Amino acid sequence: MRNTFANAVMEACDNRRDVFICSGDAGLGVFDDFQNTHSEHFLNMGVAEQNMIGFSAGLAMTGFKVFCYNIIPFVLYRCYEQVRNDICYQRLPVVLAGIGSGVAYAPAGMTHYSVEDIGIARTLPNLTVFSPIDPAEAACCAEYALDATEPVYVRLAKRGEPGIHKDEQIDITLPCILRTGREIAVITHGAIAAEVLAAADLLQEHNIYPRVISVTQIQPLNLQALQSALQGIRTVMSIEEHFVGSGLGSILAGAWAGQKNAPKLLMWGIPDAFIHAIRAGDRMREEFGLSAPQIADRIKMLVEKGDE
């Protein structure tokens, strides 16, 4: 994801003088050639995240489209007030390209996980938030961000995520039905979508067909389109590689609270606690019941339990 996103932005620099990339001392293997061939489009801002965001806001005020590239904690947490006041409050076209969503960097340790970023991003008015499921969507997010006149945050994983979309047209602003199904719908976002789809494959032998819906644009959330995608569904399970208390599931819970015809919602994700477990890469997901077989079991239980 990281590379397809960055490549799309770098390519745009060939035709646009106003595109500028600020990196927070990150990007080995991503900007190695670019920083030499396109030095007028790139700055390594060093290990100084507050300055990077404030500086990017100023650069945007002079007419540049600025991309801030770093791991998520360093584009959103360390410099939260700069994102809030300098970019979002001032409504500037700065793009926060955050990598390392969820526990993508396991076992790097809690400081390098991004399991609360959606919760933080949703506190920021004017910020459009995307959580792409695969490299093709990441490229679409880059295209959207290149044209955006307002702040954008893109939650990217790392590199090597499997492609989910084939050649079809992708509209990242709308919920996307990845698998049709009747009994239950699973709503997901980000790289964990691959596990959810693998779970759906496993469930086929049990004759269970969950409708799998990805929501890439999390903010502002197109609730109407999501409700259309949920037509005929009475039970929804949100599955995300994020703290369960502050992710997309919690946004849906808030949106549907008090709604008469709202579906029954079950939220699944990472418990709201600091992570001390040491598990490698995707295996960390097992720690939280987020591997494909565990997701399949959970859905199966839910379907077998019926509509209690």
Task: Tell me: does residue 62 bind another protein (CB under 8 A).
Answer: yes
The distance of closest approach from Cβ of residue 77 to another protein in the complex, given in angstroms and rounded to an integer, is: 15
CB of 37 to another protein, least distance (A): 17
Q: Does 39 bind another protein (CB under 8 A)?
A: no
Q: What is the 3-state secondary structure (H, E, C) of the chain?
A: CHHHHHHHHHHHCCCCCCEEEEECCCCCCCCCCHHHHCHHHEEECCCCHHHHHHHHHHHHHCCCEEEEEEEHHHHHHCCHHHHHHHHHCCCCCEEEEEECCECCCCCCCHHHCECCHHHHHCCCCCCEEECCCCHHHHHHHHHHHHHCCCCEEEECCCCCCCCCCCCCCCCCCCCEEEECCCCCEEEECCCCHHHHHHHHHHHHCCCCCCEEEECCEEECCCHHHHHHHCCCCCEEEEEEEEECCCCHHHHHHHHHCCCCCCCEEEEEEECCCCCCCCCCHHHHHHHHCCCHHHHHHHHHHHHHHCCC
Residue 64 or 69 with smaller CB distance to another protein: 64
Q: Least separation, in Å, of the C-beta of 56 and another protein?
A: 6
Out of 9, 69, 76, 86, point to the residue binding another protein (CB under 8 A).
Answer: 86
- Is 14 a binding residue for another protein by CB under 8 A? The answer is no
Residue from 81, 171, 201, 307 binding another protein (CB under 8 A): 81
Count the site residues for another protein by CB under 8 A.
26
Per rule CB under 8 A, is residue 204 in the interface with another protein? no
Shortest approach of another protein to residue 41 CB, angstroms?
9
Q: Give residues in contact with another protein (CB under 8 A).
A: 20, 40, 45-46, 48, 50-51, 53-64, 81-82, 85-86, 89-91
